[in-house]
Structure formats: structure tokens, C-alpha cells
Amino acid sequence: MNRALVVGEALIDIVGHDEHVGGSPLNVAVGLGRLGRDVDFLTHIADDPHGRRIADYVKASGVRLVPGSTTGARTPTAVATIADDGSASYAFDLDWQLSGTPEVAPPLLVHTGSIATVREPGCLAVAALLDAYRLSATITLDPNVRPSLIANRDLARQRIEHLIDRSDIVKVSDEDLRWIDPDHEPERTARAWLALGPAIVAVTMGEHGSRAFCAAGETQVAPKQVRVVDTIGAGDAFMVGLLDALWEMDLLGGDRRAALARIQLDELTAALESAGLVSALTVGRAGADLPDRAALRSIAF
């Protein structure tokens, strides 16, 4: 049990005349793979030119594409519009489905998020997979809300809360928290989520850095100073850095759930610092181009 299983969408980001492989869960899988972690990735793409490009990209990052991931009618795409501040908005063409149990070894952790958690019919299979793996694996979640794909806001919020209740680590942006719970400040919602059961709720706050909550209290770190090319994949990169740091601390796996729940603030602060570094390197590049281990070791802020 030393592998991660990442479940969720993979797609092609179209930015102007450029195309980049993307999708929030894919970015997490690839990011962990580039850091030398063993990863299986379960998704739903087609055996078409875009799908084959995704498959090659995943393999090149050291990630194993789970059999059955290439049965779609077409590979999803997302047309991204980049604002002056580097932020991105998306228009999606996406079909999300899953079927059956993935052919993988028992995972150390299972990560999911974004479209995969709320879009039918695949979101129902994702929730069932998390329930099946929860006893033996750390469950991690990034809601990464895509409002343009959500027809029923209340139902989406219910599904997200259902998964939070079953997750050990939740990473969310303050922007997403405001969409999910517009009546309360993001910090209050994050604390309420912590009370539902996760050991860690981490909140990214853009230029204000990140904050995280755990049983020992809360901690905040400042952002790394970097020239932003675009913010595509920034939150996914943060998730990668957070998981990698906790993996290094030997806090992942079902048998380490109690230890994760006892994480101390100095450990959590160090994990946030690592997460911020991975994110900073990613926003300094075009598209969701997450760094490898060598790039992390060569950079000093």
C-alpha cells in the first residue's frame, strides 16, 4: 500500500491557440507522479487524438492510467479565458462517467475532486469508491467548484458535504467556500467542515497565502513571491505539495488515520509551506505545468 489512486476528469485546456492537458484530478495525479510518487489514475476519456495525448502525458509523468479509462465517446475539453491578473475561467464540453471497480492494488490514499464529485452519472460512482476505500486509505478532496457545469446548486452543495464527511484531508479555495456557503465567511465554513470529520481543512487564499485547520488549532502561511504567468493548476499544485509533505511525514494510509488526526501545528505549517512552493512554481509557467522533484530542490525563495 504505497500507491495513490486519483479519480476524476482529464481534459484538454484550450487557451487561445494553445492546447494543454488538464483537469484538476489529472493535475494532482501528474504532479504526484513527477515528484516520484506511485500513482494510478482513473478517468473517462476517449481513444481519440486528444485522449491519446492525455494518455501519453500521464505515462510520461510516471502515472499509470487505470484500464477502462479510455471508453468515452469523446475526450473532454475546456476553453479557458485568461484575465489580466492571470486568473482563468472555463467553458466545458465534458461527459463524466465511471463504471466498475478499478483494477488497482489497495491504495495508500484516494484523491478526487472538482467535476468528478458533482456531475452525474459519474459522481455517484466516485462517492461509492470513496466509501469502499475509506477503511484502508486516506481520503482527500478538493471541491474545485465549476459553477458553469452545475445545474442544481443545492444538490451540488449536498454532494460536496457528503464527501467532506468521508474525507480525511480537504483542500479548498476561499472563492469556492464563498460559492458553497455565501452566507458565512470562508474561515467559518472551513471550521464547520473540520467538525464534520476531516483531520485537516486547508484553505488557499490567492495573494494572501493559505490557512489550515486541524484539531490542534489553525495556522497560516504567506504566499511565495513569484511572477504569475497564469493560475491554471495553482490549486491542484498546492494539493500535490500538501499530500507529498504529509506522505513524507508518514501520515497517510488508513492505519495512520489517528496519527493524522493528531498532527501538530508545526507539522501542518511545514506542509503548507511545501504546498505553497509547488503552487508558486506552477503559476510561474504557462498552463498546469507542475514541477518535478529536481525543480523543487533547485528553487529558493
Does the pLDDT at position 202 exceed 90?
yes
pLDDT for res 300: 61
Average pLDDT over residues 238-258: 97
| pLDDT surpassing 80 at residue 258 | yes
Domain that holds residue 55: 4-293
Q: Is 114 inside any structural domain?
A: yes
Rounded to whole angstroms, the Cα distance separating 24 from 96 reads 13
Distant-in-sequence contacts of 35-38, Cβ < 8 A, 24+ apart = 35/240, 35/244, 35/292, 35/293, 35/296, 36/62, 36/293, 37/4, 37/244, 37/247, 38/2, 38/3, 38/4, 38/62
C-alpha closest to that of 118 among 92, 152, 93, 90: 152
Of 168-182, 197-211, 233-247, 276-290, the least confident: 276-290
In a domain, 299, yes or no: no
Rg (Cα) of the chain, in Å, rounded?
17
Give the pLDDT mean for 189-217: 96
Count of the separate structural domains present in the chain: 1
**Residue 142 within a domain:** yes
Judged by DSSP in three states, 186 sits in helix
Q: For position 224, what pLDDT does the model report?
A: 84
Q: Which three cell numbers stand for residue 279?
A: 503552487
289: pLDDT strictly greater than 90: no
- Give the DSSP letter of residue 82: E
Q: How many CB atoms lie within 10 A of CB 52?
A: 14
Lowest mean pLDDT among 71-85, 138-152, 175-189: 71-85
At residue 86 the predicted structure's pLDDT band, cuts being 50, 70 and 90, is low
Cis peptide before 49 (omega within 30 of 0): no
Q: What is the pLDDT of residue 105?
A: 85
Residue given cell 484538476 in the structure block: 24
Give CA–CA dist 233/230, Å, rounded. Answer: 9
Looking up residue 172, the CATH number of its domain turns out to be 3.40.1190.20
The candidate with the shortest Cα–Cα distance to 26, out of 52, 58, 4, 49, is 58
Residue 235 falls inside a structural domain: yes
Residue 301: pLDDT band (50, 70, 90) is low
Q: Is 195 part of a structural domain of the chain?
A: yes
User: How high is the pLDDT of residue 145?
Assistant: 92
Ramachandran region of residue 8, left (φ > 0), alpha (ψ -120 to 50) or beta? left
pLDDT interval class at 297 (50, 70, 90): confident
Residue 282: pLDDT band with limits 50, 70, 90: confident
Average pLDDT of the chain to the nearest whole number: 92
**284 has a pLDDT exceeding 90:** no
Going by pLDDT thresholds of 50, 70 and 90, the confidence category of residue 88 is low
Whether 300 is covered by a domain: the verdict is no
Is the pLDDT confidence value at 78 over 90? no
E strands, the chain, are 3-7, 11-15, 18-22, 38-42, 63-65, 77-82, 88-93, 109-113, 138-142, 169-173, 200-204, 210-214, 217-221
Q: Domain for residue 298, yes or no?
A: no
Proportion of the chain above pLDDT 90, given as a percent: 74
Q: Which residue has the higher pLDDT, 246 or 91?
A: 246
How many C-beta atoms surround the C-beta of residue 85 within 10 A? 10
The predicted-structure confidence for 22-72, as pLDDT tens digits, reads as follows 899 999 999 999 999 999 999 999 999 999 999 999 999 999 999 999 999
